[in-house]
Structure 1
Amino acid sequence: MSDLITSPQNPRIKALLRLQQKSSERRQQGLTIVEGLRELTVARQAGVAVPTVFICPELAGAAQPPSLVAALDKSTEWVTVSKAVFERVAYREGSDGVLALVRPPHRTLPDLRLPSNPLLLVLEAVEKPGNLGAILRTADAAQATAVIVCDPRTDLYNPNAIRSSIGCIFTVPTVATSRPELLAWCKEHGIRTYAAALTDAALPYTTRDFRGPTALVMGTEADGLTPELRQACDETIIIPMRGAIDSLNVSTATAILTFEAVRQRDEMVGL
């Protein structure tokens, strides 16, 4: 355990803030920040390396959290900080006084190990970390094969995305790729693509068959899918709206479609 850091001007705290605020810094160092005992324990149990843990005894308690100590290896450095310093670097309210540097995995499409009947969630140009995090929670809950992000506008390991996912970014294989690479890869692996889009040709999602290898393809909340990706998909589906609005938040829509696919698959095997 290091000496107590009490100044926000400490070089290690300044470096921590740069990592928190700049995606370029995270990419360059191959690090990101995880705040919270629960999220950090999930990351470690998923096999993610944790070089450094910053802990505030006043918030976390005098003893190191036993569950986290058990999950970490002996090479992890523990750094103690004052409450004032921790509150400077914390990015959530009601923090439990634990924050860490982690080395997130970097995956590509060929790295994904596909089962015989994969269920993939594809997001195009996602830009809100909160939406990404919520979709990762859905993917974890449904045991989707992977989340694939085409041409992302946000860092997949943005600390806010990690927080919103409650650590599910580490339990669900997540890949960033381009539209052409995604389409070629899906075709190569016999994966049928379903574009969720508000068009005259779209069919109600409950009428489609998601029991085979499936990719549910979602666009941004503001713009939807690009015409190029929508037209390249095998089918276009819609969640019928019965009220005054014509669309749902992308994370909500993704959850509805995902669990319809799960329902169909469960029925197929008699669950």
Structure 2
Amino acid sequence: MDLQQIGLRHPAAELVRDIQNNRTGIPRRTFVAEGLFENNIVLETGVVVETFLWCPEAAYSDEAKKRAAQLVARARRSYQISTKTLERLAERPNPDGLISIAQLPDWGPDTIGFGDDALVLVTDALEIPGNLGTLIRTLDACGADCLVMTNRRTRMTHPKVLRSSQGMSIKVPSFEFEKAEEAIAWLNAERFTVYIADTDKSTNYRRCDYRGRTALVVGSERYGVSQPWYDANFKRIGIPMLGSADSLNVSVSASVLLYEARAQKDRW
């Protein structure tokens, strides 16, 4: 492949650094994929690849060279970079010489079809990217339909979301409502039974009926679920706390609830 060689001052390299450092002004839904695993998902899902950066000296396998050719064919523009430039751009060690700038699919409430037994997770004002990525990984693992975000505090394209989700943020549908009230109206219109995760005045999560369309709402790591969700009079469900701690990490709590819902729906 005969590609133009670029360095760190090229706009494409600067955009990679801006995305990796979570700076403002990044194009909407734009993320960076590094290495074979993430770029295999990029190729598999067919997302738009804006720019591909290739470092042949850092390729550790024939598969990396094969994927590089496929990415050059898919990308709107492609460049070659040196190993030194790669080291400055990549966050993960040994990224097989592959860095792509791509776009997440533009999902929305009208683009996803929900069956009669749909399972949805709602995150309200979640702040920590690693927690969000872990939740997305769990959504994929338990076969949930999508992620709905309200009062969003972190970008879906944050590098830590992609890493902690093991690339599943590219595959699991997600969309957001600016206000909780908008999400509540949508869930009611779509006939979802909504449960708020809360240890206070709650029903044991094992005693709830998750059949039919189910939405589970988890809140901010610091402040929990915002008031509009309680004003809607949805049922509260909780996980018993048997020690001294009064709550679990939000990603752990959501995982327990999601798998209980899936177990009931599939009659495990």
Q: TM-score, normalised by structure 1?
A: 0.89
Q: Distance in 2 between matches of 1:71 and 1:141?
A: 28
Give the Cα–Cα distance (whole angstroms) in 1 for the partners of residues 50 and 257 of structure 2. Answer: 38
Q: CA deviation at 1:105?
A: 1.6
Native 8 Å contact 1:45 1:71 kept in 2 = no
SS at match of 1:216: strand
Change (3 A) 1:239 1:57: same
> Map of 1:11-50 to 2, 5 A cutoff?
11-22=11-22, 24-27=24-27, 31-50=30-49
Query: RMSD between aligned alpha carbons?
Result: 2.2
* Matched position secondary structure for 2:246: coil
Partner of 2:122: 122
Distance 1:59 1:233 in 2: 56
Report if the CA contact (8 A) 2:134-2:165 is conserved.
yes
Partner of 1:111: 111
2:41 counterpart letter in structure 1: V
Query: What are the superposed Cα offsets for residues 42-79 of structure 1, whole Å, 9 maximum, x if unpaired?
Result: 13212211132212223224857256358647242432
- Between the aligned partners of 1:229 and 1:147, the Cα distance in structure 2 is 17
Question: Does the 8 Å contact 1:147/1:175 carry over to 2?
Answer: yes
* Contact 2:22 2:159 (C-alpha < 8 Å) held by counterparts: no
Alpha-carbon separation, structure 2, partners of 1:248 and 1:151: 21
- SS of the equivalent of 2:96 reads coil
**Cα gap change, 1:70 to 1:97, in 2 (>3 Å):** closer
Further displaced range: 109-118 or 68-77: 68-77
Mapping of residues 130-209 of structure 1, within 5 Å: 130-177=130-177, 178-199=179-200, 201-209=201-209
Report the alpha carbon displacement of residue 215 of structure 1 after superposing the two structures with TM.
0.3
The number of equivalent residue pairs is 265
Bigger shift: residues 19-28 or 142-151: 19-28
The change in CA–CA distance for 1:212 and 1:223 in structure 2 (over 3 A counts) is same
- Find the aligned partners of 2:184 and 2:173 in 1 and give their Cα distance: 18
How do 1:58-137 and structure 2 match up within 5 A?
58-61=57-60, 65=64, 68-69=67-68, 72=71, 74-76=73-75, 77-137=77-137
- SS where residue 147 of structure 1 aligns? strand
Go from structure 1 to structure 2 and tell me whether the alpha carbon gap of 1:96 and 1:66 turns closer, same or farther (over 3 Å shift): closer
Q: Deviations over 1:141-197 (max 9, x none)?
A: 111010111111111111221121111112111111131111011110110110001
Which residues of structure 1 form unaligned runs of 5+?
none
Stretch deviating more after TM superposition (32-41 or 136-145):
32-41
Aligned pair in 2 of structure 1 residues 104, 141: CA closer, same or farther (>3 Å)? same
- Which consecutive unaligned segments of at least 5 residues does structure 2 have? none
Contact 2:35 2:96 in 1 (8 A): yes
Residue identity over aligned pairs, in percent, reads 31
Q: Which SS does the other structure have where 1:149 is aligned?
A: strand
- CA–CA separation in structure 1 for the residues paired with 2:250 and 2:181: 22
Partner of 1:248: 248
Post-superposition CA distance 1:199-227 (Å, at most 9, x none) = 1x201100111122100100012211112
Partner amino acid, structure 2, of 1:102: A
| Distance change in 2, residues 1:130/1:233 (3 Å) | farther
Q: Distance in 1 between matches of 2:245 and 2:214?
A: 28
Q: Are 1:54 and 1:81, in contact at CA under 8 Å, matched by a contact in 2?
A: yes
Asked if the contact 2:198–2:236 (Cα under 8 Å) also holds between the matched residues in 1, the reply is: yes
Counterpart-to-counterpart distance in 2, 1:228 and 1:10: 46
Aligned to 1:2: 3
TM-score normalised according to structure 2 size? 0.90
